[in-house]
Homo-oligomer: A and B are copies of this chain.
Amino acid sequence: MTTQQRRPSSSRRSEASRQAILTAAFELVGEVGYAKLSIEGIAARAGVGKQTIYRWWPSKGAVLFDAFLALSAGPDEQQGLPDTGDLEADLKLVLRSTVVELNDPRYDEPMRALTTEILHDPALAASYTERLDAPMKELKKQRLRSAQQAGQLRTDLDLDLAVDLLWGPLLNRWLLRSGPLTEQYADTLVETTLAGLRPQRRDVEA
């Protein structure tokens, strides 16, 4: 075998190991919590050596972050929000599914672990904002922009703020466990927020 022939197979093996490590990190943090998550544990679960992980990631936080990036690169996350023309119905659908996800024990601990890292690490927070949050926010803003063009939202609306208003309260309720996180709450949130984002009478008459 020449070096050239070996490369694809070696790169396939690398990719398989990488995927196994990310899956192992995500599953393990859900089982043992972030404090007890270790590179050793991830390596054992993934069936790779510790050095394989350290070759690609400097810390368990970095592995976990990439595990989230891999999740958010899935086909569902790339395709944008539903756009049936009915903004309220579309947003309720999306926010209800966010509620279901936040209440899912498989995601709860990994997301709390990632949030803790972000809370205390400004560099990771910047990376999170740029690589995970911003692309998702852009998809949300696309949907709002389409509603704006259809005359369903105020033209002077700050779309970043609109996203904060629609998704922020869900995130807070989940993080601080400050109240029941239900699909009913998602519905009321969408209805109440949209009431403030729609064109006001003076816009319509202008």
Contacts and interface: CB of A to CB of B under 8 A. Distances in A.
Interface string A82-118: 0000000000000000000000000000001001101
Contact of A116 (B116, B161, B196): B116
Nearest to A174: B119
Contacts of A178: 125, 129, 133
Nearest to A158: B188
Interface string A171-183: 1110111110000
Given A168-B169, A169-B165, A192-B165, A112 B120 contact: yes
Contacts of A125: 176-178
Interface in A151-200: 157-158, 160-162, 164-165, 168-169, 171-173, 175-179, 185, 188-189, 192-197, 200
A162 B196 CA distance: 12
A158 B112 contact: no
Assembly of this chain: how many copies? 2
A194 to B, nearest CB: 7
Contact of A172 (B158, B164, B195, B197): B164
Contact of A176 (B133, B158, B179, B201): B133
Contact of A177 (B126, B165, B193): B126
Nearest to A117: B116
Contact of A169 (B161, B175, B185): B161
B120 A116 contact: yes
Given A118-B176, A161-B169, 7 more contacts: A118-B177, A119-B119, A129-B176, A158-B188, A165-B193, A168-B168, A192-B196
26 contacts: A33-B120, A34-B120, A112-B119, A112-B120, A115-B176, A116-B120, A118-B176, A119-B175, A125-B177, A126-B177, A128-B176, A133-B178, A157-B192, A158-B192, A160-B179, A161-B169, A164-B169, A164-B173, A168-B168, A168-B171, A193-B196, A194-B196, A195-B195, A195-B196, A195-B200, A201-B201
CB-CB nearest 5 A-B residue pairs: A196-B196, A195-B196, A164-B169, A125-B177, A168-B169
